């Protein structure tokens, strides 16, 4: 027998049970599934996210997951994606579904082998999906040896997944069966199709959107946001992957297998693509130099704002402009004055964390040709060092402002919008694990931050993981709403970066113990990293955005991000 503590705030049950060792969570969940508005999709068992086919083998805690939680919603979305793929394969066997970028809370998909799907095509897929949902089609997980699993995947038409899993040399492989199909999923899946009550399919661009519930209000579909500029940069990113001829993790394995020369070539071409884009942006700014006085660069945490800012400044100098750079990080109020979030922690993402009056006074003085004594923020001491450096701007040259709030007009109310050029930068994942299993942009940036925090701030992975939800809330509140007001967008993701971060992030994440809730996050990231080959960073250029996180940058010695 094992002793299990179960907490279920929905049914208001908190109890300790003695159950037989080896009991499936599927059996245990029956009691707690009654009278719930939201179905149970999985569980957190001793700080690990598990599915219903997990055996209870040791004492511990169980918390049920539904759509109101991050992990519950992740399970919901991935299960829905697999259901779409399953039905599409049955109805249109010659098409291949590709799961691409998330737009808001929805997922953009395309079909290879056909033009843009018609409304009727999507209706047919949706009708069959709803039939499986009504029938509550079970989704059953099984663990097989690689020798058993790989032929099943190949026979079922999942040769891409089989080839990738073969590269990983896994002894055991997790497969899921839905109806007559067996497939591999990076994420765990819900226990049945009946759990997927709310969704929608709609034409979008050259593919379609899978619409998901709002994680804040799981009873309704999340709203659709108009993001034409984000769509444009995603299209451009797709073009880059074609140029590099690497589309997924398997593609990276093939590059690595060809030897260091092949990997180095990939690194340099990827970096050259970014440098070309930055140079083009500089050309655009130069052409409008008589009007523009302030270049504003903003983006979420770990998007590479600082390095991008310096590289843009270098390209402008090539054209004859001599910009002065300001970072809003240096205008943080002292730690004792920093606003708090709803949980009582420091809200570094808030606009109120910045001394707006001092910043605007300095900015206007620079534009007017007056010298300023700019501050510098000491993040270790948590205080601002006043009059740290003297700056002066030559007449007719621009000021470059870098910071998470740079696109928000409330940061620079003293400057007319027509005098500003706004750039939104983010790290939008360029390649995923395979066609059905995508990596979230948030996790990509979290890897960057983990490595950077350890390298520059002596923070443990646990420290970074604890702070990350607060960072994400700040981004959704203070950054993402302003991205479409940008004049240009830049994707700072590099196609090879996950493979470079692997050797840095893996030992950090392995130090997170099962005793804390962040263990689930650490295991998720370790699982993701296991699907990518390791690439040596020796060939990463010294001005690369990645150097902002792994160190060795020739542009700056210390990254000053909050």
pLDDT in tens, 31-67: 888 878 889 999 999 999 999 999 999 999 999 999 9
Q: Per-residue pLDDT for 559 more than 50?
A: no
Q: Which residues contact 462 (CB under 8 A, 6 or more apart)?
A: 511, 512, 516, 518
Between 7-16, 61-70, 105-114, the lowest mean confidence (pLDDT) is in 7-16
Examine the domain organization and report whether 299 and 336 are in the same domain: yes
Structural domain of 31: 2-66
The answer to whether residues 9 and 27 touch, using CB atoms and an 8 Å cutoff, is: no
Examine the domain organization and report whether 166 and 36 are in the same domain: no
Q: Quick one: how far is CA 300 from the chain centroid?
A: 10
What is the reported pLDDT for 556?
Answer: 67
Q: Per-residue pLDDT for 543 more than 60?
A: yes
Examine the domain organization and report whether 144 and 197 are in the same domain: yes
What is the reported pLDDT for 157?
Answer: 87
Examine the domain organization and report whether 376 and 495 are in the same domain: yes
> Is 467 domain-assigned?
yes
State whether residue 445 is helix, strand or coil: helix
What is the reported pLDDT for 338?
Answer: 87
Q: How many domains does the chain have?
A: 3
Q: What CATH number is attached to the domain comprising 184?
A: 3.30.980.10
Q: Which residues contact 477 (CB under 8 A, 6 or more apart)?
A: 349
Q: Per-residue pLDDT for 560 more than 60?
A: no
Examine the domain organization and report whether 147 and 255 are in the same domain: no
Higher pLDDT, 295 or 216: 295
> Is 459 domain-assigned?
yes
Cα 461 to Cα 424: distance, rounded to the nearest angstrom = 27
Examine the domain organization and report whether 61 and 75 are in the same domain: no
> Is 222 domain-assigned?
no
Examine the domain organization and report whether 394 and 247 are in the same domain: yes
How many percent of the chain have pLDDT more than 70? 98
Q: Per-residue pLDDT for 11 more than 70?
A: no
Q: What CATH number is attached to the domain comprising 6?
A: 3.10.20.30
> Is 521 domain-assigned?
yes
Examine the domain organization and report whether 17 and 151 are in the same domain: no
Q: What is the mean pLDDT of residues 315-324?
A: 96
Q: Per-residue pLDDT for 558 more than 60?
A: no
Which among 66, 92, 108 is the end of a domain?
66
The answer to whether residues 562 and 379 touch, using CB atoms and an 8 Å cutoff, is: yes
Mean pLDDT of the chain: 91
State whether residue 175 is helix, strand or coil: strand
Strands (E), 170-323: 172-178, 181-183, 200-204, 207-211, 294-298
Cα 471 to Cα 477: distance, rounded to the nearest angstrom = 10
Cα 154 to Cα 259: distance, rounded to the nearest angstrom = 27
Examine the domain organization and report whether 266 and 403 are in the same domain: yes
How many percent of the chain have pLDDT more than 90? 71
> Is 105 domain-assigned?
yes
Examine the domain organization and report whether 56 and 99 are in the same domain: no
Name residue 45's beta-bridge partners: 48, 62
* Secondary structure, 3-state, 290-311: CCCCEEEEECCCCCCHHHHHHH
Give me the DSSP letters along 451-515. Answer: HHHHHHH---HHHHHHHHHHHHHHHHHHTGGGGGG-SEEEE---TTHHHHHHHHHHHHHHT--TT
Which among 22, 46, 66 is the end of a domain?
66
Check: pTM over 0.75? Answer yes or no: yes
Which among 33, 66, 99 is the end of a domain?
66
Between 14-18, 448-452, 491-495, the lowest mean confidence (pLDDT) is in 14-18
> Is 287 domain-assigned?
yes
Q: Per-residue pLDDT for 356 more than 90?
A: yes
* β pairing state of 55-56 and 48-50: unpaired
> Is 217 domain-assigned?
no
The answer to whether residues 465 and 474 touch, using CB atoms and an 8 Å cutoff, is: no
pLDDT tens digits for 195-244? 999 999 999 999 999 999 987 888 899 998 888 888 888 888 888 888 88
Cα 12 to Cα 408: distance, rounded to the nearest angstrom = 42
pLDDT band at 287 (very low <50, low <70, confident <90, very high): very high
> Is 441 domain-assigned?
yes
Q: Which residues contact 412 (CB under 8 A, 6 or more apart)?
A: 294, 296, 360, 363, 401, 406, 420
pLDDT tens digits for 143-181? 999 999 999 999 988 999 999 999 999 899 999 999 888
Q: What is the mean pLDDT of residues 364-371?
A: 94
What is the reported pLDDT for 561?
Answer: 35
Examine the domain organization and report whether 127 and 246 are in the same domain: no
Q: What is the mean pLDDT of residues 326-344?
A: 87
Q: Which helix (H) or strand (E) holds 61?
A: strand 60-65
Report helix angle 497-510 to 441-457, nearest 10.
60
Q: What CATH number is attached to the domain comprising 397?
A: 3.40.50.300
User: From the CA atom positions of the chain, what is the Rg in Å?
Assistant: 25
Examine the domain organization and report whether 32 and 59 are in the same domain: yes
């Amino acid at each position: 027998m094992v002793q299990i503590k179960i907490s279920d705030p929905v049914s208001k049950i908190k109890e300790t049970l003695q159950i037989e060792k080896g009991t499936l969570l599927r059996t245990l969940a029956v009691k707690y599934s009654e009278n719930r508005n939201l179905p149970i999709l999985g569980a957190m068992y001793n700080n690990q996210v598990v599915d219903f086919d997990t055996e209870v083998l040791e004492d511990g805690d169980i918390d049920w997951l539904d759509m109101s939680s991050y992990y519950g919603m992740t399970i919901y979305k991935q299960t829905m994606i697999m259901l779409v793929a399953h039905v599409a394969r049955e109805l249109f066997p010659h098409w291949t579904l590709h799961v691409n970028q998330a737009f808001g809370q929805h997922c953009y998909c395309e079909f290879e082998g056909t033009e843009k799907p018609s409304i009727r095509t999507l209706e047919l897929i949706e009708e069959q999906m709803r039939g499986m949902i009504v029938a509550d089609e079970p989704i059953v997980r099984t663990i097989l040896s690689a020798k058993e699993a790989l032929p099943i995947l190949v026979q079922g038409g999942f040769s891409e997944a089989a080839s990738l899993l073969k590269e990983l040399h896994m002894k055991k492989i997790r497969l899921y069966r839905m109806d007559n199909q067996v497939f591999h999923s990076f994420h765990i899946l819900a226990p049945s199709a009946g759990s997927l009550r709310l969704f929608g399919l709609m034409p979008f661009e050259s593919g379609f959107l899978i619409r998901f519930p709002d994680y804040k209000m799981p009873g309704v579909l999340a709203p659709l946001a108009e993001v034409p500029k984000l769509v444009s940069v995603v299209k451009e990113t797709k073009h880059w992957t074609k140029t590099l001829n690497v589309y997924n993790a398997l593609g990276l394995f093939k590059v690595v297998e060809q030897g260091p020369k092949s990997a180095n070539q990939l690194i340099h071409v990827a970096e050259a693509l970014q440098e070309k884009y930055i140079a083009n942006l500089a050309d655009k700014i130069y052409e409008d130099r008589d009007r523009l006085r302030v270049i504003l660069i903003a983006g979420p945490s770990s998007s590479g704002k600082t390095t991008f800012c310096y590289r843009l400044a270098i390209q402008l100098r090539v054209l004859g402009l001599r910009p002065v750079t300001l970072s809003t990080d240096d205008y943080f109020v002292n730690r004792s004055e920093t606003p708090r979030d709803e949980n009582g922690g420091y809200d570094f993402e808030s606009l109120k964390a910045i001394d707006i009056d001092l910043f605007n006074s300095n900015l206007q003085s620079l534009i007017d040709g007056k010298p300023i004594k700019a501050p510098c923020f000491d993040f270790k001491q948590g205080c601002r060092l006043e009059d740290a450096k003297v700056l002066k701007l030559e007449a007719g040259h621009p000021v470059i402002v870098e910071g998470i709030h740079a696109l928000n007009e409330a940061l620079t109310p003293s400057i007319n919008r027509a005098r500003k050029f706004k750039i939104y930068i983010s790290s939008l994942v360029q390649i995923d694990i395979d066609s059905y299993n995508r990596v979230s942009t948030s996790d990509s940036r979290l890897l960057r931050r983990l490595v950077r925090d350890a390298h520059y701030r002596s923070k443990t992975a646990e420290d970074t993981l604890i702070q990350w939800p607060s960072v994400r809330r700040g981004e959704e509140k203070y950054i993402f709403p302003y991205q479409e007001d940008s004049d240009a967008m830049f994707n700072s993701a590099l196609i090879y970066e996950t493979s470079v971060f692997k050797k840095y992030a893996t030992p950090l994440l392995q130090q997170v113990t099962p005793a804390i809730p962040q263990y689930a996050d650490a295991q998720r990231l370790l699982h993701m990293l296991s699907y990518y080959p390791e690439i040596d960073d020796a060939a990463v250029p010294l001005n690369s955005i990645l150097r902002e996180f792994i160190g060795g940058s020739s542009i700056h010695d210390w990254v000053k991000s909050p």
